Chains A and B, each alone.
Chain A
Amino acid sequence: MESIKDKVAIIGMGCTKFGELWDKDAYDLVIDSAYEAYEDAGIDPKDIQAAWVGTVLGSTATQLSAPLKTDYIPVTRVENVCATGMESLRAAAYALIAKAYDLVLAVGFEKLKDTGYGGLPMAVQSAGSEKWHPVFGSGDSAPGRYALAATRYFHQFGLSREEGKRTLAKISVKSHHNGSLNPRAHLRMEITEEQVINAPMIAWPLGLFDACGVTDGAAAAILCRTEDAKKFKDEYITIKSFGLSTGPGMGKVRTDYDYTHWEETQRAAQQAYADAGIKDPRKEIDMCEIHDCFSIAELICYEDLGFCEKGKAKDHIEAGDFALDGKYPFNVGGGLKSFGHPVGASGIREVYEGYVEILGRAQLPERQLKNVNLALSHNQGGNPGRFICSICIVGAP
C-alpha cells in the first residue's frame, strides 16, 4: 500500500452560506458552491473531467450534471451517511492518483428545510433497505441514539447529571463562539452555559443546544494531482491522508460495547495518522473540524482522536484546551453545532475550513489561526455502536 500523502492538491473550494435557505433549492446550492470553486481555482468548468456528488437525502448524480450542465462526463453520486461529503472527496482523490483523470470536482450538498417540520428529515424508507425495520428500533432518532452514549459516559466517568450537562454545555458555548465569528455559519449567536443547560430537552440528557442545526448548504472542491497544481495557481493545499472505518455495527448486539468510545473514529484516525506520518496528533495537528452533531459526539472525539486521555475530556474542556485560542482548537468554523449540518455537505465544508485557515483566508482576523500546517476533518455517520467514520487530513504543500 502506498501513502497518498501530498499526491493530490485542492486548488479551489467553494462553500455556500449555510442556513435555512428558503429561497434556494438543491440546484442553487450545487451551482453556488461549484462556481465559487471554479472561480477560486481559476479553471474553465469545461475542463472538469469527472465529478462526484455527495448527498444523503438527495437523489441521483444528475443533481450535479443537471444544474451544472456538465458535458456527459462521468458523475457519480456517493452516499455514506454523515461521512458522505468526505467520501465524494476521497473518490475524487483516488481517481486522480489512478490517473484516470487530471482535473475533477467533488460536491457535497443537502437540502433539508423543505419538509415542514423541525429536526432531521427521515430518510426515504423503502422495504428491504437497511435503514429501517418495521419494529426493531422503529421510530428511534439520532438524538435518542447519541443520548445513549451521553447517559453512559456520565455514569462511567462519575459525572453527576449536573456536571455532565455543564461539561457538554461548555462544548456548545465554544462552538457557537467560533461560529459567531464565521460569516457563512448558520447559527451565528453566542450562547451561555445556562442557556444550554436550561434549553428544551430533545433526548435526555441532550437538549436543544446540544444538537446541531438542521441546515441547507453545499461545499465544493476542485482537485488535481499535486505535480499539476502550479499550472492552475500558486495557492493550494495538499491531501495528507484519508481514514475510513466502517464498523460491523454490533454495538446494540454485543455486550462488550461500552457506549463511551467511538471505535470507528479510533480506527479511522489510526489509518489517517499512519498514512500522513503523524506520530503525536497533539503536537502536529493544528486544528480539527470534527463531527459534533451532538455535544457528546465532540467530547468523545477529543478522546478517540488522541487529544486527551479516556475519561478526562472534562478537565481539558474546563481548561479551555479546545477553544479557538486553546492548545487544540476544535471546530474552529463553528462545527456542525453552529455552522450547520447539511449532511452530504459537511465533510467538504470541514475541509474547506482547513483550506481557508491554512491559506490565511479566514474572513475575520479574530478567527484566523496562526501557522496552520495540518488540519484534520472528521465525520461519522450512523450512531453509537454502528458508525461509518471518515477522516481527511490536509495541509500546506
Chain B
Amino acid sequence: MIGIKSYGAYIPVYRLSESELARAWGGRGGRGEIAVANYDEDSITMAVEAAIDCLNGTDRDIADSLYFASTTPPYSEKMSASIVAAATDLRDDLFTLDIGNSLRCGTSAIKAAHDSIKSGSAKNILVTAADCRLAPPASEFESIFGDGAAAFLIGDSDVAVAIEDSHSISSDFLDVWKRAEDPYIRTWEDRFILQYGYSEKLGTAVSALLKKTGLSAKDFAKVVYYAPNARSHQRMIRQLKVEPEQVQAPMFDSIGNTGAAFAPMILVAALEEAKPGDRILWANYGDGADAFILQVTDQIEKVRDRRGIKHHLESKMEIPNYEKYIRFRNLMQGEADRRPQYISSLPMIWRDRKQVTPLHGGRCHNCGNIQFPIQRVCAYCQAKDDYEEVRLADKKATVFTFSMDERAVEVDPPRVWTINDLDGGGRIYCTMTDRDTEQIEIGMGVEMTFRKIHEGAGLHNYFWKCRPIRVS
C-alpha cells in the first residue's frame, strides 16, 4: 500500500489583517488575515521548514527522493529541490525534482511520487509544496494570497494515509497566468474563468474518480479541495453535493490561498483531526485537476507530534502596518544606499557547504566539545583534524547575549545579533528573526531556522538564523 507516511507544514509567523489592508487602500475590510512570509523567507526556506516538520523524529536518510512543488521557485534556472534537500540534510544519493508552473503542482508531485514508488524506482519520497505569490498591491488578490508550505513523506510501508486511487485531467484553459516579464499574476473576468475553469475542471475530475471507484459523496469523512477564493470554495460544496460538515475548512481568513501549497496544507489540517478509517476526498485545481481517494490508517497516531497547521496557526505576530509589508516585499524604491552592497563568493560557500546549508558543526573526538564554525584545530584542546560533523539545525538554544543594530543594512531593523549556547554543547553567533524586539532577553529559548540572508553577487545567500521557539 502506497501512501503518506508522515506530514508536515509551515506557516510564516507574520499575519497581515484585512483591516490593515483596508486602512492602506480604503474599503471596509473583513475580520480575516493572511499569513505572509517574513522578508527573509521564500518558497525554499518554507519548504525546508515543512520538510523538517514532516521528518520530525524520522531518520533523515529514509528519503531517497525529494520533490519541490511551487509556482514561485526563487531561481528560474537553478533547482530548488537540491537546496531544500541540502538544508534538510538528506542523503547525497538522492533524486531531486522541481515541479512547477501550475497551481496544481503540489498534488501533481504527490501523484508522481506515488507512481514512482509503485514502479519500484523509489522507496520513500519527500514531497514539498511551497508558495510565496506576490499579489498586485491594492488588488483583490492582496487579501486572498497567503504564504506557506506543506510536506509529505510518501512511501509503501507503515503509511498513515493510503492513496487508494486518483484521477487527473489536463486543460489548456487560461485563467491565471504570469509571463516572465510580469511582476504579478494576470487574470480574466472571474465569472467566465470560474465557470469554465475551476468549477468545470475540478467537478469533472471528482465525478470521474467517483464513477471509477463506485464511491459517492457520503462515503467521505472529509472532503478537502482547492478553491481560488472563499466564495468559490463555498459554491463547490453545493456542486459536489457534499454536506458542509464534511468539508475541511479552507482557512481563507487565517492563512489565505497559498497557491501550490494550498490543497496540501488543507489536507494537513484535515489529517490533524482525522481518525483511523476515515476516507478523504482530496481535489486540486490548476491547468486541469487532480483528485484522490485517501484512507487514514492506525499509523496516523504515530505522526501526531507535528507543528503542522494547528500549532503554526496559533503562533503568530501581526505585521503592524502595511508600510512594513511594502518593505518586506521590496515594493517601493527607497533612497539609494551609499554603503557597500552585500557580496558573496561561490567558492567560499562551496567550501563551507556543510556548515552553511545543513548547519553542521564539528565535535572534537579528543575533548568532545562542539564548535561552530568547524575548527580544524580544536578551540578547546588544539587536537588537529580530529572531529566529526554534527547537525546543529535541530538544536534548541539559549540566548547568552544579544544586541540590536539599528544601522544595519537591513529590511526590518533593528538587526538582532545573538550569541546562543546550543543544547548539548556549542555556541552559534547569528541574527534573530520572527521576533518582537520588546520580548528579547538573555536566557530565552530559541531554535534555528533556514533563511535568506542577502542577495549578494546576485544570488540567494541562505543560512540559518535563530528565532524564539514557536511551539514549545
Interface residues, chain A, CB within 8 Å of chain B? 115-117, 119, 122, 125, 127-128, 132-141, 143-152, 155, 200-206, 248, 250, 252-255, 259
Whether A145 contacts B417 in the complex (CB less than 8 A), given A134-B345, A134-B461, A204-B403, comes out as yes
**Which of B30-38, B102-110, B367-375 contacts its partner?**
B367-375
Asked whether A138 lies within 8 Å of B461 as measured between CB atoms, the reply is yes
Tell me if A259 and B400 are in contact (CB < 8 A): yes
CB neighbours of A144 from chain B (8 A): 403-405, 408, 415, 417
Task: Report the separation of the CA atoms of residues A144 and B463 in the bound assembly, to the nearest whole angstrom.
Answer: 19
28 contacts between A and B (CB under 8 A): A115-B339, A122-B340, A128-B345, A133-B348, A134-B343, A134-B356, A134-B453, A134-B456, A134-B461, A136-B373, A137-B429, A139-B409, A140-B415, A144-B415, A151-B401, A200-B406, A201-B406, A203-B404, A203-B405, A203-B406, A203-B407, A203-B414, A250-B375, A252-B427, A253-B427, A254-B371, A254-B379, A255-B400
Given contacts A150-B403, A204-B406, A138 and B454 within 8 Å (CB-CB)? yes
With a cutoff of 8 Å between Cβ atoms, the chain A residues found around residue B347 in the complex are 127-128
* Residue among A122, A136, A151, A205 making CB contact with B339, cutoff 8 Å: A122
User: Closest residue of chain A to B453, judged by CB?
Assistant: A135
- Residues of B near A116 (CB, < 8 A) are 338
Instruction: Please state if B349 and A253 are interface contacts (CB–CB under 8 Å).
Output: no
Bound Cα distance A155, B457 (Å): 39
B402 touches A151 (CB 8 A): yes
Contact flag A151-B427 (CB < 8 Å), given A134-B344, A135-B349, A252-B419: no
Question: A134 to chain B: which residues have CB within 8 Å?
Answer: 343-345, 348-349, 356, 453, 456-457, 461
Residues of A within 8 A of B425 (CB): 255
Given contacts A135-B453, A151-B401, contact A117 B338 (CB under 8 A): yes
Q: Is the CB of A148 within 8 A of B406?
A: no
| B356 with A151: CB separation less than 8 A | no
Check B401 against A148 for contact (C-beta < 8 Å).
yes
Q: Which residues of A contact B400 (CB under 8 A)?
A: 152, 255, 259
User: Which residues does chain B contribute within 8 Å of A122, judged by CB atoms?
Assistant: 339-340
Q: How many Å from the CB of A105 to the closest CB on chain B?
A: 33
A145 to B417, CA, bound (A): 8
Q: Determine which of B348, B379, B453, B463 lies in contact with A127 in the assembled complex, contact meaning CB atoms within 8 Å.
A: B348
If A135-B453, A147-B404 touch, whether A127 touches B414 (CB-CB below 8 Å) is no
Q: Which residues of A contact B408 (CB under 8 A)?
A: 139-141, 144
Asked if B203 is an interface residue, CB under 8 A from chain A, the answer is no
B184 interface residue, CB < 8 Å from A? no
Asked if B380 is at the interface (CB within 8 A of a chain A CB), the reply is yes
**Known contacts A125-B340, A141-B407, then 17 further A-B pairs from the complex at CB < 8 Å, ordered by chain A residue:** A115-B339, A116-B338, A117-B339, A122-B339, A135-B356, A136-B355, A138-B461, A139-B410, A143-B405, A145-B403, A148-B403, A151-B401, A202-B406, A203-B403, A203-B405, A203-B407, A254-B380
Asked whether, in the complex, the Cβ of A149 is within 8 Å of the Cβ of B401, the reply is yes
Instruction: Please report the C-alpha to C-alpha distance between residue A252 and residue B347 in the assembled complex, in whole angstroms.
Output: 24
Number of interface residues of B (CB under 8 A): 48
- In chain B, positions 345-393 with a C-beta closer than 8 Å to chain A are 345, 347-349, 352, 355-356, 369, 371-373, 375, 379-380
Residue among A119, A127, A149, A253 facing the most chain B CB atoms (10 A cut-off): A253
Say what secondary structure dominates the interface of chain A.
loop
Complex CA gap A137/B405 in Å reads 13
Report if B426 contacts A (CB, 8 A): yes
Q: Quick one: closest A residue to B379, CB to CB?
A: A250
Query: Whole-angstrom distance between the alpha carbons of A143 and B406 in the complex?
Result: 10
Say yes or no: B419 contacts A204, CB within 8 Å. no
Query: From residue A66, how far is it (CB to closest CB) to chain B in Å?
Result: 26
Q: Contact string, B428-454, partner A, CB cutoff 8 A, digits 1/0? A: 010000000000001000000000011
Question: How far is A253 from B371 in the complex, measured between Cα atoms in Å?
Answer: 6
- B-side residues, CB < 8 A to A, are 338-340, 342-345, 347-349, 352, 355-356, 369, 371-373, 375, 379-380, 400-410, 414-415, 417, 419, 421, 425-427, 429, 442, 453-454, 456-457, 461-463
Smallest Cβ-Cβ distance to B421: which chain A residue: A255
**CB <8 Å contact, A138 and B463:** yes
Inter-chain CA distance A133–B379, complex, in Å, is: 19
Asked, given contacts A135-B461, A148-B419, A253-B379, whether A204 binds B427 with beta carbons under 8 Å apart, the answer is no
Q: Which residues of A contact B409 (CB under 8 A)?
A: 139
A136–B463 CA distance with the chains assembled, in angstroms? 8
Closest approach, in angstroms, between the C-beta of B427 and any C-beta of chain A?
5
What's the Cα separation between A140 and B453 when bound, in Å? 12
Distance between Cα atoms of A259 and B408 in the complex (Å)? 22
Contact B454 A259 (CB under 8 A): no
Chain A contacts for B405, CB-based, 8 A: 140-141, 143-144, 147, 202-203
Residue of chain A at shortest CB distance from B371: A253
A residues in contact with B429, CB < 8 Å = 136-137, 252
Choice from B371, B407, B454 contacting A202 with Cβ under 8 Å:
B407
- Report B39 CB to chain A, min CB distance, Å: 14
Q: Kindly state the separation between the CA atoms of A139 and B339 in the bound complex, as whole angstroms.
A: 11
Cβ-defined partner of B375 (8 Å) among A127, A141, A206, A253? A253
- Knowing A127-B348, A134-B349, A151-B402, the reply to whether A140 touches B427 (Cβ < 8 A) is no
Residues from chain A with a CB closer than 8 A to the CB of B375 are 250, 253
A17 nearest CB across to chain B (Å): 26
Nearest CB on B from A326, distance (A): 30
Instruction: Provide the bound-state CA to CA distance between A136 and B392, in Å.
Output: 15
B446 to A: closest C-beta gap in Å: 15
Looking at the complex, which one of B401, B403, B463 makes contact with A135 (CB distance below 8 Å)? B463
8 A-B pairs with the lowest CB-CB distances in the bound complex, closest first: A147-B403, A135-B463, A152-B401, A144-B405, A204-B404, A252-B429, A127-B345, A250-B379
Indicate the member of A136, A147, A206 with the most B CB atoms within 10 Å: A136
- With a cutoff of 8 Å between Cβ atoms, the chain A residues found around residue B342 in the complex are 138-139
A250 to B400, CA, bound (A): 15
Q: How far is the CA of A149 from the CA of B427 in the complex (A)?
A: 16
The interface residues of chain A lying within 8 Å CB-to-CB of B457 are: 134
* Complex-state Cα separation, A148 to B417, whole angstroms: 8
Q: What distance in Å separates the Cβ of A161 from its nearest Cβ neighbour in chain B?
A: 11
B403 vs chain A, min Cβ distance (A): 3
CA A219 to CA B348, docked complex, whole Å:
38
The answer for the CA separation of A119 and B414 in the assembled complex, in Å, is 16
Question: What is the distance, in angstroms, from B472's C-beta to the closest C-beta of chain A?
Answer: 23
A201 to B410, CA, bound (A): 15
C-alpha gap A125/B340 in the complex (Å): 10
Chain B residues contacting A145 (CB-CB under 8 Å) are 403, 417
Q: Give min CB distance, A142 to chain B, whole Å.
A: 10
Report A195 CB to chain B, min CB distance, Å: 18
Question: What's the nearest-Cβ distance from chain B to residue A128, in Å?
Answer: 7
User: How far is A307 from B457 in the complex, measured between Cα atoms in Å?
Assistant: 48
* Among candidates A125, A136, A203, A204, residue contacting B343 with C-beta atoms closer than 8 Å: A125
Are B379 and A152 in contact, with the CB atoms below 8 A?
A: no
Closest Cβ of chain A to B395, distance in Å, is 13
Q: Are A259 and B419 in contact (CB under 8 A)?
A: yes
